[in-house]
Structure 1
Amino acid sequence: MTNWNYRQISDCVDTALSRLDFVFYFFICFDDEDGFWLNNALTLWKNIEDLVYSGKVISLGVADLGFSRVKMLNEAVVRVRPSIYHYNVGDCCEVELRNYAAEHNIYLLTHNDPNLSKLKGKVGEKIRSFLGDDQLFELGWFARYTVWDQSRSIVRSKGYILQFQKNH
């Protein structure tokens, strides 16, 4: 998600559903540089909760936020609390985070992918290398997905789904 726009999230989930059949865990990575982070996140989260109630998504989680933001969001959310925190294996899982997660039924899950909030710059670099100009297209939203064989705990498929908008 490149801005605080629920329409991007809705488009992302609908696109993922059209290709993956269902979304069990839905993680959102909020831009953490905004001074109004919690207000923006809560406004968006209220819409995201509807994805659970509509049956499009089974469970909500957050990715790459850091302990203080996970705690703020969890304690502020009213209807559907984050049940998973997806963090980069390179980041240390603080004891305080582990204890908080255990107390609040938040499942901790690691990944070794690039931080989603930094992916926009990497995509711009790739567009520039392929097309010679990174201003032709703008990244609208992107989703990281993993397809698991749960009975054998094996990752079957992993990748990204990206949506671009052509600049005029």
Structure 2
Amino acid sequence: MCQSILVNSGIRASRRLKISGFLPQVMACPSGFLEKFRDLQSFRLHTGNINAYNELKLKRFSSSAEELSACLKIQLASTPAATDFRNNGTLLLCDNAHIDKYERDDLKITMKLFLSRWCEHELKEAVDALKEQLATTSIELLIVAFPELEIVEGETEEEENKRWIKQLLPLWSSLESLIKSGEVVSLGVSDLSLNQLQTLCDEVDTRPTVDHLRIDGCCVVPPELQEYAKNHDVQLLTHNDPIPFPTREVFHSFCTLNEETPLCSDLFEPTWTVRYTVWVRRRSVMASKGYIVAFVGTQGNE
């Protein structure tokens, strides 16, 4: 079983956390622990390798959000009385040292980033966080789930597509910089329609190699999308991630205060979530799988 580890930041919890239930249920969290969050401007929660828990590894979850919630239930319920944050504000719930037994060239790291807002800085921050946590200099595949656009009443599909690509291009420029620096080997996108994928490929120098699709109620990808992907070397893969990823609800499962204390969500808001997998090449063995969730202080906490 994976053990929670202590890291130094001078911010300590005095009591054990307890969780009850999965999303959308919330857990009761001791106010003494949550008071420590008031000293932070931001923090990240890292599950570490969740495959260390047989109850997670052997269960088939309906979605990745359900898996993350179940993971937090197990980990935080068994977290020792003294829980520390790293200097960078990361709370690591499970040791990843077991990855060290493999040579880096034998591993393939896949990262999926769920953004809740159109922010280039947070994109780079998420990549840096994963590299730091896995002690690596590069990531083989980065798939990005971009934020949803606000609905504009009366807007045509063409107008919406133009507004979407205008929002996306600055982020894609940052992604291309990661390719040029060698920090990321290839890029992927999540749930792009045929029109969106065509528009993106026409506008950028570095095209995505993967379109990660959620297929609800069936297992058929539109033929037109299949044809376009085949002709442009884009691999179509499927997933069970909610759209959008419910980062805020996951946070509510992490901590809820009693009636006399302000809700934890008043202190912080979620910014991004990363799910990563580490595969052993040529063996189809998953060496590690985990999540990192990032939060920043709200105006009232700054």
The two structures share one fold, judged by TM-score above 0.5:
yes
How many Å separate the matches in 1 of 2:239 and 2:286? 12
How many Å separate the matches in 1 of 2:128 and 2:245? 23
* Pair 1:165-2:291 in alignment: no
Letter in 2 for 1:149: V
Over aligned residue pairs, what C-alpha RMSD do you find?
1.9
Query: Pick from 227, 236, 241: which aligns with 1:99?
Result: 227
Letter in 2 for 1:75: D
Normalization by structure 1: what TM-score? Answer: 0.86
Query: Pick from 161, 178, 200: which aligns with 1:51?
Result: 178
Normalization by structure 2: what TM-score? Answer: 0.50
8 Å contact kept, 1:32–1:65 = no
Equivalent residues, number: 164
2:131 matched residue in structure 1: 17
8 Å contact kept, 1:27–1:61 = yes
1:6 matched residue in structure 2: 120
Gaps of 5+ in 1: none
Query: After superposition, what is the alpha-carbon deviation per residue over 1:8-41, rounded to whole angstroms, capped at 9, x for unaligned?
Result: 0111011111123231111111123245211010
With over 3 angstroms needed to count, the CA separation of the structure-2 counterparts of 1:137 and 1:23, relative to structure 1, is: same
Q: CA deviation at 1:84?
A: 0.9
Letter in 2 for 1:120: T
Q: Which has the higher strand share?
A: 1
Describe how 1:70-149 pairs up with structure 2 within 5 A. 70-77=197-204, 79-90=205-216, 92-115=220-243, 117-127=244-254, 130-132=255-257, 133=263, 134-149=265-280
Gaps of 5+ in 2: 1-114, 151-159, 258-262
With over 3 angstroms needed to count, the CA separation of the structure-2 counterparts of 1:111 and 1:131, relative to structure 1, is: same
Identical aligned residues as a percent: 34
